[in-house]
Structure 1
Amino acid sequence: MSHPTFIERICERFAQGLLHHPRLAIGLLVLSLVGALACMPGLRFDFAPQSIYVGNDRLVADSDAFKQTFGHDEFIVLLLLKAELEPDVLEAPALQWQSDIAAELQQLPDVARVECLATLEAPRAGLRGLRLERMLPETIDDDAALRARGQFETMPLLKGGLLSANSRLAALPIQLNLPSAEIDGMRRAVTDIRDVLARHPAPAGYQTLLSGLPVLRVEIVNDLRLDQWTLIPMAAITYLCVLWFLFRCVSGSILPLIAVGIALSWTFASFAIFGESLNLVSNVLPVLLLIIGVSSSVQIVTCYAEEDHLHPGHRLEAAARAIAHMTPACLLAALTTAIGFASVATARSLILKRFGWQAALGVGFQYFCTLVTLGALFRYFAPPRHSGLHQDRPGPVTRAAAVVGLAVAEHPWRAVLASLLVIAGALYGATRVRINTYNALETFREDHPAVITMKLVEQDLSGLIPLEVSLKAAQPGKFLEPEMFHQVVAATRSAREVPGVLAGQSYADVFREVLSHWPGRRVSETDRELVPEGEAGRRRLQRTRGFAVQVPEVLHYYEYLNEDESQARLRLRIAELGSARTLQLIADLERRLAEQFPPESGIQVTLTGEGYVAAQALTTLIRDLFFSLVTASVVIFSLIAMEFRSIRAGLIAALPNLTPLAITLGYMGFRGYDMNVGNVIVFTVCLGLADDNTIHFLYRFREELRRGHAVPSAIQRAFLGTGKAIVATSLLLLAGLGVLRLSNFVPTQRFAELTCVTILGNLLGVLLLLPAWLRIAWREPQPQSPIGETSETASGLTAGAGSDLGPTVTGASPVPTDASG
């Protein structure tokens, strides 16, 4: 036998220290757990969708500058009044309720302004010129409502804005007064609005609905938090039940969950201490770390059972051997996985950078805590019963591992061919996958109230998603020139014609509304008649400006022009199209704007707004994360090659590690799923799980080679040790992920579904493709000590003439053959 290496000696001392000083280790674990639990209340949740934009510097800078000039449209809550029976929303009771509820909402601390049909002021001609006049009195009767109905018909800006075309839906935009887009402020404001509506219900025959970006974001955050606090514990309970079914003892069921729980508490406490938060990307970390921790724990517990079977009556020695044997494998798995995730920090998006470091830290805690906790507690609990082929009734997992291991060892090319056929089919399906993400449609089910309300707003009003166009001139007052005025009118009309654009407004619409009511003017006049070319048109625009700046809040003047009239806003609303179609819409719009404002016009055109930023940033985020994970895989393969001192080992590990990624992509294609933010996170599980299982299998395979076994025999013995644990872990994880399918949150459901596919793909890669490549590409080692047989025969394995395949640490004798059946 070879002499122990430096690493092996360190691992033996580490194991002996844990077993001989358990009280010290347990005391430190308890103290650290108490400290972590004390820090965890400071953990922040930042599930606001806009958090994913941070790091896209140009997009965010343009958006912030635009909002500073023209205001925050994402701070608008839309209160809808819907007529359910025959009367419409222009009846006196409906208008009176709108007036009353607007006054109540205006008193809320987070509300800056509320608009509604009942409080509208319109320009009216008088003896002294133009004045603003409220269209309805404070107390609204049937006569006043009837007069207002006729006036509303002459105000085209209302249609699609505050009033649907059929007058059965009215909108009350509520402008929030929030210092930032923090979700806590939005939740407080939305809750206050709901409380007011509960105290002041709509009249009989009418229904109230809430929509708008703040409402959607609060719904998303609430569902995510509900999942974190309910479904994750339910998954842990399911893991406990399945672990107990598999091992039937405390050491195999409860101890792994204790270890994983302590590590999770360390991770979240670290986030709280350093000001990190769980966000839309890192919300998957609890499940990911749970999977990695449970997988490693099952490997260690299985090794403990094998060592105890080899050395009956010497529990401490068996525990020490198991910890010493598993420490280097766990160390390499932790190192490669952590470095792999840390490589994600090279992405441009700040949220991905944080996710990379958060995952690396959590993985390190999981592996270290698993070894320390299990090593300290093993001495107090009996190991699980070892299930080997020598027993009269070996378990189904053992029998399956024996049969598959034998088949792969004897027919490696068949295994490779079968695996490659599956991968080829998956890659064909993967060609159907496209990068496409939605604001709400991928978050909620079709029958969710938020989706139903959003579609109602898109159908009858002007939609929710803003797409903004900034027009900037070099000199002040440029947009008060008649020629530029008509260019903006033409650009607005052209933008409205783009498929997917629901509404478009500019300062020209506001000016037209004022000019058409000026003494001597008519509503029926065209834009060219209202604003003629030359000095006459210039005077009319200046006069209109003079009136508008006296009542800027009523006419929303500064929402369309800045103070020196050198920058104008083209305000668009688009449908929820998904990022792919939105990018096509943006390209069409940019082409039209380039025709309207060529370089010689002196107008700088910039697109921004929630619709634009989301489509660009989310597409960049998905590509960043996907290719960062591919980079992480390359880093992991390189580290595996360095550890095993063989480029061949790294190359052999590459294809099995990428197999679950390819199969999951193919499944998405055949199911018609897009590559969105929620789905791409699944590939982090591909990375962590495949890397972990590959390393454990390679370590066991190398250990069997060092004992003098030939490659086929080493593969079979690795199957019955590590392979059996991998199968058991996969069954365990599939059961736990089934719980997540109960979520009402579509991304959580999809995550569970795709992760199950990933686990099955990992089984194909690690238990078929990896051993088959080892059988084909690994050179036979020179025998180090005589072994009774070179390889087990088919009849021996299937009939029970197998071996007790427990791992041994340095210095242990070869594993004896048990042919008793």
Structure 2
Amino acid sequence: RRTVRAIAVACMLTSATTAVGLASLVVSKTVMLRHFGLTSGLGVMVSYVVIITFVPAVLTWVTPPKREEVRRERTSMFTKVSNGLVARLLRWRWAVLVATDLFTVGAGYVASGITVDHALLDQFDETDPVYTTTLLIEEKLAGVRPLEVVLVSTEEDHFMDPEMVQTIQKIRNWAALRPEIIRTSSYGDMLRESYVLLSGDPSVRSENFKSAKQVKGLVTMMSQRDPSPLNDWLTQDGKKARVQFKLRDVGAQATMRFLDALEQEIESELGDDETVSVSFTGEAYTASRGQAAVVNDLLGSLLVAVVVIFLLLAFFFRSVRLGLLSIPPNLIPLVATMAYMVWREIPLNVSTVIIFSISLGLAVNGTIHVLARFREEMHTGIGREAALVRAARGTGRAIVISCVTLMAGFSVLLLSSFVPVRNFGELIAITIGGCLVATLLVLPPLLSVAGGDGGVRDSSD
């Protein structure tokens, strides 16, 4: 009963913060992520109820440790090392905090160079059949990333005007010279090829159409087939036309730069023609534009998780001070992980940004146990430094085992053949390891300097 009373609140708080880290994904606009976050968050809270209900009952069947075993654990090598480490950290607390500040600034500077990008081939090893097949498709079959440009006019037969046909061909020819482009297609290509077949003279392929009547005649002729080859490229009333570009797998950032340049080229060629509106679609457009939106969406969920976890800690500990002090040991590792991603050349995308909310919810558990034990020791009336030493001695072993277990569990993902899964396991293990180091090395000096009375006075008011 004493054990349950001592750990029930802390365990509930750790489960709640983990659930918050996962459930923060519900603010995402991606349905899959919302379902994942909500289901995982509920699962964590259910597991807490199961553990706090059944584990104490099972432990009644277990022989409690003898006093000699408890005494041996209190004088074990781990206890001696942790006591000595905390004593040294408290003695050099200002040096530790200054070093932490310098490390955070340096890591933040490196992390500022992180790139937000995503490419299809980044998800596979170069030896993977999918990787080699995609390269083969790009080389032989014009690739797998289409970009569609749809032009709509308010005037009938507008895209049958020879000048408009020539304008679209200029845009197509400009794009064909870009390194991102594999192939371009437009209705003008079909009209020219048809004219070559009719005339029997290949040289007319490079000539401009002379009149709208000539273009309409070719369109009418091609429309005799069922279905017409022009159905997907030009409407019969000449008010809507489509141009297709096949892109290489150059990544989201390079694709967006091409899109910006293409928009400028289209505006330049159309000039003052206000009758034409332009829109973009296709996998290359939606995936590249959506990438940045989803990443920003998930970064917003991280902010939600930080705020909610702070409010939970401040409420349960009844101390805004302790709530604020819980933030640095868990945010610094996130900055360090971003710096690690820059060093490893891992871009920030949907599969990597998700780790921050999850890692925060998992890794804050160690901070909660230290704060709860520190507050409990302060209730006994001992000094702040003595309370910190006792808190470290009482929680250090459990925190290390918990974090190492999590790191080992996620490290299993490194065996995956799917690159995003490997990156997920690697980065979340690095983040949890960073949170372990920050909890053991940064939190004690931080509480020594700014911990006050541990929230004891606040709770008694």
- Would you say same fold, with TM above 0.5? yes
Secondary structure of 1:688 counterpart? helix
> CA contact under 8 A between 1:690 and 1:766: conserved in structure 2?
no
Q: Matches of 2:400 and 2:47 in 1, distance apart?
A: 21
Distance verdict in 2 for CA 1:383–1:755, change over 3 Å = farther
Aligned match for 1:550, one of 224, 227, 233: 224
1:388–1:715 distance in 2 versus 1, CA, 3 Å: farther
2:262 is the counterpart of 1:589: yes
- Preserved contact between residue 305 and residue 357 of structure 2 (Cα < 8 Å): no
C-alpha spacing 1:777/1:500, structure 2 compared with 1 (3 Å)? same
Give 1:414's aligned residue. 95
Q: Which amino acid counterpart does residue 329 of structure 2 have in structure 1?
A: P
**1:449 aligns to what?**
129
- The percentage of counterpart residues that share the same residue type is 32
Aligned AA (1:539): K
Q: Shift in Å at residue 583 of structure 1?
A: 0.9
Match of 1:528 among 207, 211, 215: 207
For residues 52-77 of structure 1, the C-alpha deviation after alignment (integer angstroms, 9 at most, x for no partner) is xxxxxxxxxxxxxxxxxxxxxxxxxx
Contact 1:433–1:665 (8 Å) recurs in 2: yes
- CA distance in 1 between counterparts of 2:225 and 2:80 reads 83
| CA deviation after TM superposition for structure 1 residue 387, in Å | 9.8
Mapped to 2, the partners of 1:748 and 1:342 lie a distance apart of 20
- Equivalent residue for 1:664, pick from 337, 361, 371: 337
State the Cα distance separating 1:587 from its structure 2 match. 0.7
After TM superposition, the score normalised by the length of structure 1 is 0.53
Structure whose CA Rg is larger = 1
> What is the CA–CA distance in structure 1 between the aligned matches of 2:145 and 2:278, rounded to whole Å?
20
| CA–CA distance in structure 2, aligned partners of residues 528 and 384 of structure 1 | 94
- Match for residue 635 of structure 1 among 298, 305, 308: 308
Q: Displacement of 1:363 after TM fit? A: 2.5
Moved more, 753-762 or 540-549: 540-549
- Among candidates 365, 369, 391, match of residue 692 of structure 1: 365
Q: What is the CA distance between 1:411 and its match in structure 2?
A: 2.7
Matches within 5 A, 1:658-737: 658-737=331-410
Q: Does the 8 Å contact 2:195/2:205 carry over to 1?
A: no
Residue 433 of structure 1 aligns to a residue whose secondary structure is coil
2:277 to 579, 585, 604: 604
Match of 2:437 in 1: 764
From the superposition, tell whether residues 422 and 552 of structure 1 become closer, same or farther in structure 2 (CA, over 3 Å): farther
Q: Which structure 2 residues correspond to residues 313-328 of structure 1 after superposition, within 5 A?
A: 320-328=1-9
Which aligned pairs between 1:177-196 and structure 2 lie closer than 5 A? Answer: none
Shift of the 444–589 alpha-carbon distance from structure 1 to 2, 3 Å rule, reads same
* Cα 1:566/1:783, change in 2 over 3 Å: closer
Q: Secondary structure of 2:122's match?
A: coil
Which aligned pairs between 1:71-220 and structure 2 lie closer than 5 A? none
Q: Which has the higher contact order (CA 8 A, sep 6+)?
A: 2
User: In 2 relative to 1, CA 727–756 (structure 1 residues): closer, same or farther, beyond 3 Å?
Assistant: same
Alignment of 1:330-345 (within 5 A): 330-345=11-26
**Deviation of residue 330 (structure 1)?**
2.1
Aligned position for 2:248 = 575
State the Cα deviation string for residues 25-74 of structure 1 (Å, max 9, x = none): xxxxxxxxxxxxxxxxxxxxxxxxxxxxxxxxxxxxxxxxxxxxxxxxxx
Shift of 1:739: 2.0
Structure 1 residue identity aligned to 2:252: S
Q: Structure 2: which 5+ runs fail to align?
A: none
1:422 Cα deviation (Å)?
3.0
Kept after mapping to 2: 8 A contact 1:426/1:666: yes
> Which residue type is aligned with residue 451 of structure 1?
Y
Q: Distance in 1 between matches of 2:418 and 2:231?
A: 39
* Aligned partners of 2:180 and 2:247 also within 8 Å: yes
The number of residue pairs the alignment matches comes to 457
**Cα distance change on mapping 1:484 and 1:783 into 2, 3 Å:** closer
- Give the unaligned 5+ runs of structure 1: 1-319, 785-821
The alignment status of 1:470 with 2:150, answered yes or no, reads yes
Cα distance between partner residues in 2 of 1:459 and 1:523: 27
Letter in 1 for 2:45: G
Contact 1:387/1:398 (<8 A) preserved: no
Q: TM-score, normalised by structure 2?
A: 0.91
Check conservation: 2:138, 2:248, Cα contact below 8 A: yes
Cα distance change, pair 614–511 in 1 and its aligned pair in 2 (3 A)? same
Asked if the contact 2:375/2:454 (under 8 Å) is kept, the reply is no
Residues 376, 489 of structure 1: alpha-carbon distance in 2 compared, 3 angstrom cutoff:
same
Cα deviation digits, residues 453-496 of structure 1 (max 9, x gap): 21233234422111111111113332222222112111211222
**2:210 pairs with 1:540:** no
Q: Compared with structure 1, are the counterparts of its residues 621 and 653 closer, same or farther at alpha carbon in structure 2 (3 Å cutoff)?
A: same
| Deviations, residues 536-571 of structure 1 (Å, cap 9, x unaligned) | x32222222222223354x63222123533211111
Judge which range, 626-635 or 746-755, deviates more: 626-635
Distance change >3 Å, CA 782–CA 540, structure 1 → 2? closer
The aligned residue for residue 85 of structure 2 is 404
User: Counting helix residues as a fraction of each chain, which structure ranks higher?
Assistant: 2
Q: Secondary structure at the match of 2:203?
A: coil
Cα offset for 1:648?
A: 1.1
| Distance in 2 separating the partners of 1:548 and 1:386 | 95
Q: Is the 8 A contact 1:397 1:727 kept in 2?
A: no
